[in-house]
Structure 1
């Protein structure tokens, strides 16, 4: 079944479709199920590049056909699946090759007692999250007391088979968009926050921020939802929704930095030391079969050269989102869709050909 109309909620496909049209590449929408094990999504952008057919939806790129288990096609990162689906395994792999990652342990749900006892084995605050989670769901960073820790572990265990507990590292989360063989874009993922004016409460500032989001309607930037997790995060710093922040004071509302949790995507190329692009290019090329990824890295001070103790690779995302780069909250767009199409046209080149060429400003329309 074909459908030529746009789906307003899949800006990922719209980004790639627009980039394809700018290059004279024909596209169409088709319906289909990825596999019998993963019956989603149902609507795909179909395009042919470099003599090969591809399907794309919600950040997922498939090489069309050729697999009896997956009727639509093979994932572009199929050969890297063991690492991209397992956060702990990926970090062990990268750590063994000299890249900095947070120290951590993974526990099975049926060994909940061991997970609960692990809190005392960490010297500082910890982060609890699913070992195979996505979109910032059930991620609890900066936990410094046992009661919050046990609550977080039980919440993750209620929904996931494996619980990842790791040291909670501080800094700014930078996402590096990798299209083999190089990093093609970077952005700062700033957690949901508000800036005080000296008069309004945090609750009122959230309303004002959401109203601004509604007016600007920047794709990929969801409204800030006030829930128990947000209240708990404020409580960890001794604050509540009724507090009145000082003028120009930024108050962070969550520890996660995903668009789905109200984060802002900011162009940070001018503030990032170029050595990080070199490090992340090497890290991604070290992963066999990793062709396309959004790599989240916590960096204590982005202006300082990359070194252990100043950066930690958090995870490799196998279905990286496109809209935050094309539609940043602040700064210029970066044409990651064009970079993907360029790579498909030439064929993904081996790691030995990688280059950390300077990232350039690209206008996307």
Structure 2
């Protein structure tokens, strides 16, 4: 077998409305060999992954998959189940999977769901390797492989605190975007978006974070406010550390100056020797070291969010409890097998690590790892109580004294943090700290919240909920309106029309289309930007008040959507462009792909559909939101039925565009007033105008604003570059258009037929990934309409041989009626246009269906300059002659 590709769909996609992994594999020689015919395969697989026995498969009962194995199923299907089972083994409850034929008889795509992206991705790779090894009779060390995957997951995945905030936001319908590979997360879209990194927010003051990180400065500020803190100071040598310990009196605490998670902290040190050793441990984490007076009492973590105490936990140091049989080391190993303990922050508790700090603690107590504690004996392995070093938490939120709340909130306010974790040591948090000898040990700017969400004892406290409440108070918006436009033809023009309409209403628009990403008319990314990554660029920009996104087939198929749900989804039409690519072979399959855009609309939003398109009736079955239909005829059967049900519609009547609002019709604009339609000649731009009207009206834009914006929209470089742009050159016209499929050519040429005065000259080409039949048909259409054609080819041949596409087009032109003397092949489109212009005659229309827009515009401009220069020279010569005669 061969693994061809693996890709991640983080959002809604053509396979599901939740995240999935897709693996493309070539099954090769095993394509027709069922599992039951491979000696020992089934037994080996089940022995490795016994959890497969519970898989239901299509039988819909436990054991169904094993039945399929025994009766005979195929490798692609087995890979799907193995990838899911590996994730289950890692602790993720996933069940969705599907396998489908892709291409070349033996190539399949396997799709399965995931909860953690890294875990899903690595499980897919491991599943493939396991099947390969079994087929090649190699031993599989599954425990070792699973540990490798866990290690990668720990390194790349989000921590519990970040994940808890995302989950809480998701419950409220607030979308999230992970920015980069670390823990920077955007919640919401555009103008209303907020950012978090763990429990630091975009409102967290940078100076406050720096202050909290400087433990000595924090103590100084709190002392100034008469808030109790332990005495001590920072040092840089072990000799200074001992001097400070002698000054303040033993026992003392030694810890890194700017450390976190309890790393390198040693407490209750009673001798200079212990201080020296502790100093060297702390020095591994920081250049400066704090030596402080040890405070007797219990250790508490108090979380403050937006000047409110929201959770309090007593932290108990890492320990094991004896059973009279096992050694301390064995007890640690047993405890680490608990399903609640993981590496770092992946689980509610952290695995206990045996290191120098632990050895020092045991040594102080005259204990060793090979000691056997008595039944019920508690052996503390660390003196700090951090969860990150193996400690546990007990919820005591209901016990904290009101005076302590006030004191702690004032401390956090003094530092300037919006979210803080305050470490307190005191005999009892239910008594005032000031009177009981307790102190604030330190203030953390990025407190972990897993101890409050998953305490070992006591109530769970949803700190993430209070953080999301602070970021998005009740009634606050979290997303800008999103309009997503797809279709085979017209989506770029519709996108630009909509953007212009919404800008006219006074809002800042973020737009993606085939020309680039635009924010408030500023081109921020140039190129074909119709995929999910480009959508995210718009949705991450804080200036954006409305997002208008062209959403192309390729992005949908290969990466899914770049947003969660839209407010308006538009499908302009369904055509046969790109059939045969990415496993999409029929118009029904293409309609299913495009329909994702209208399926992913919020329930109160609108799906805008073309009632004249034969596939709209199929798409309607998948739509769960409001629907607006548009048609070039008021008598369209779908339109008539839609209007009779009191639903919104847009249609043509008496050469005007009308909107039916559910009760009555309103005139929007005369078609002749829309410059993009060339007085109604360009039927496809009438259709695009209706789609734009429907989209804007669905978003609440007034009819007056829509009409005004459409009356200004021209097919020129300013409003719609590359879409039927007309240039005057000498005494004829040159038109540049992006027609690249049968429907695109047909609609443009039908319009040109009405505009024709002289000869119609074509510079034609088709992308190489189209089928031979499509290319031939485009040639035939061209031969029918054009008086002369220059046949060119795209620079990107897309797998074709040079002139292969051109020769098919030429054959098609012959079928359309053009004779040999009225066709020529000039593969370079710029040279082809130059020839056409040089031979142009009065009244001619030259149309070029382009691959690269700007070089053609540059050529036209340069030839216009040459013309102007030549005309001026003629004038100058005439002036000289007149002067000479005079």
TM over 0.5: yes
> Among 153, 160, 163, which residue is 1:11 paired with?
160
3-state secondary structure, aligned to 1:129: strand
Contact 1:2 1:30 in 2 (8 A): no
Q: Tell me the residue number matched to 2:301.
A: 175
Any idea what SS the aligned residue of 1:219 has?
coil
Match of 1:20 in 2: 169
Matched, 1:253 2:381: yes
Q: Is the 8 A contact 1:12 1:57 kept in 2?
A: no
Residues 61-119 of structure 1 show CA distances to partners (whole Å, capped at 9, x for unaligned) of 235xxxxxxxxxxxx13241342110111012112211111111112x3x554334323
Q: Which residue of 2 aligns with 1:293?
A: 420
- 2:534 corresponds in structure 1 to none
- Equivalents in 2 of 1:214, 1:118: separation in Å? 40
RMSD of the alignment, in Å? 2.7
* Contact 1:293–1:318, Cα closer than 8 Å, also in 2: yes
Quick check: 1:122 aligned with 2:248? Answer: yes
CA distance in 2 between counterparts of 1:49 and 1:145 reads: 57
Q: Equivalent of 1:307, from 434, 440, 448?
A: 434
Q: Distance in 1 between matches of 2:439 and 2:469?
A: 29
In 1, are the aligned partners of 2:361 and 2:382 still within 8 Å (CA)?
yes
Alignment partner of 1:60 is 2:187: no
Say if 1:3 and 1:30, in contact at 8 Å, map to a contact too. no
Deviation at residue 245 of structure 1 after TM alignment: 2.8
Partner of 2:837: none
* Unaligned residue ranges in structure 2 (runs of 5+): 1-7, 12-18, 20-115, 118-156, 475-886
CA distance in 2, matches of 1:214, 1:335: 18
Name the CA distance, whole Å, in 2 between partners of 1:222 and 1:187. Answer: 16
Matched-pair contact (CA < 8 Å) for 1:84–1:318? yes
Q: How does 1:24-103 map to 2 (within 5 A)?
A: 24-31=173-180, 42-48=182-188, 52-63=192-203, 76-103=204-231
Using the alignment, how far apart are the partners of 2:162 and 2:284 within structure 1?
Answer: 33
Paired with 1:2 and 1:29, the residues of 2 have a C-alpha distance of 13
- Cα displacement (A) at 1:213: 4.3
User: What is the match of residue 355 of structure 1?
Assistant: none
Question: Unmatched 5+ residue regions in structure 1?
Answer: 32-40, 64-75, 348-365
Question: What is the distance in 2 between the residues matched to 1:49 and 1:313?
Answer: 39
Name the SS for the 1:286 alignment partner: helix
Q: Deviations over 1:105-146 (max 9, x none)?
A: 112x3x554334323213221111111111111111111111
Q: Please show how residues 148-187 of structure 1 align to structure 2 within 5 Å.
A: 148-187=274-313
Q: Which of residues 136, 144, 158 in structure 1 aligns to 2:270?
A: 144
Tell me, yes or no, if the aligned pair for 2:263 and 2:285 is still in contact at 8 Å. no
Q: Secondary structure at the match of 1:149?
A: helix
TM-score, scaled relative to structure 1: 0.80
Cα–Cα, structure 1 residues 239 and 273, in superposed 2: closer, same or farther, change >3 Å?
farther
Give 1:2 shift: 9.6
Equivalent position to 2:364, from 225, 236, 252: 236
Q: Give the counterpart of 2:468 among 341, 348, 354.
A: 341
Asked if structure 2 preserves the Cα contact closer than 8 Å seen for 1:127 and 1:142, the reply is yes
Moved more, 274-283 or 312-321: 274-283
Aligned to 1:341, the other structure's residue is in SS state helix
Taking the TM superposition and a 5 Å limit, the aligned residue runs for 1:279-290 are 279-287=407-415, 289-290=416-417
**Structure 1 pair 93–169 and aligned structure 2 pair: CA distance change class (3 A):** same
Larger radius of gyration: 2
Query: What SS does structure 1 have at the residue aligned with 2:456?
Result: coil
| Larger displacement relative to structure 2 (259-268 or 6-15) | 6-15
Q: 1 CA distance for matches of 2:378 and 2:302? A: 25
Q: Evaluate the alpha carbon distance shift between residue 142 and residue 13 of structure 1 in structure 2; reply closer, same or farther with a 3 A threshold.
A: same
Match of 2:471, SS? Answer: helix
Residues 87-96 or 235-244, more deviating: 235-244
| Alignment match, 2:858 | none
Distance 1:112 1:144 in 2: 15
Conservation of the 8 A alpha-carbon contact between 1:220 and 1:260: no
The offset of 1:50, in angstroms, is 11
TM-score by length of 2: 0.34
Q: Which residue in the other structure is 1:68 paired with?
A: none
- Structure 2 counterpart SS, 1:301: coil
Q: What are the Cα deviations for residues 233-262 of structure 1, in whole angstroms up to 9, with x where unaligned?
A: 011122222333333332211012222210
SS state at 1:115 partner: helix
1:276 counterpart = 2:404? yes
Distance 2:190 2:411 in 1: 27
Higher helix share: 2
Greater relative contact order: 1 or 2 (C-alpha under 8 angstroms, separation 6 or more)? 1
Maintained 8 Å contact 1:172/1:301: yes
Segment drifting more, 20-29 vs 96-105: 20-29
CA separation in 1, counterparts of 2:458 and 2:190? 32
Question: Could you say what secondary structure the match of 1:331 adopts?
Answer: coil
Contact 1:49 1:344 survives alignment (8 Å): no
Q: SS of 1:325's equivalent?
A: helix
Tell me the equivalent position of 2:457: 330
The equivalent residue for 1:38 is none
Distance 1:215 1:150 in 2: 32
In the alignment, the residues of structure 2 paired with residue 51 and residue 336 of structure 1 have an alpha-carbon distance, to the nearest angstrom, of 25
Conservation of the 8 A alpha-carbon contact between 2:251 and 2:294: yes
Deviation at 1:295, TM superposition (A): 0.8
Give the Cα–Cα distance (whole angstroms) in 2 for the partners of residues 312 and 174 of structure 1: 11
Provide closer, same or farther for how the CA distance between residues 137 and 27 of structure 1 changes in structure 2, counting only shifts above 3 A.
same
